[in-house]
Amino acid sequence: MRPNDRIEESSSIQELGERAKKASQTLTTASTEDKNETLRTSADCLVAATQEILDANLKDVRRA
């Protein structure tokens, strides 16, 4: 991994953390119905991306 890759990865992780914090604040006031719909949508997205996720995981394992 090149140094610039690590900087980009760190920035991406920080951005992801900031987005997660904002999302958690939104979820504290969301209704149960809205939370359930969000979970269903997230699950659908994960199922749709299963092969892509598995391929990325395999690349990570091979790199390790």
Query: pTM for this one?
Result: 0.60
Could you tell me what percent of the chain has a pLDDT over 70? 88
Reported confidence tier of residue 32, pLDDT bands at 50, 70, 90 = very high
Helix (H) or strand (E) holding 27: helix 3-27
pLDDT in tens, 17-31: 999 999 899 889 999
Number of residues written out for the chain: 64
Q: What is the domain partition of the chain in residue ranges?
A: 1-30, 31-64
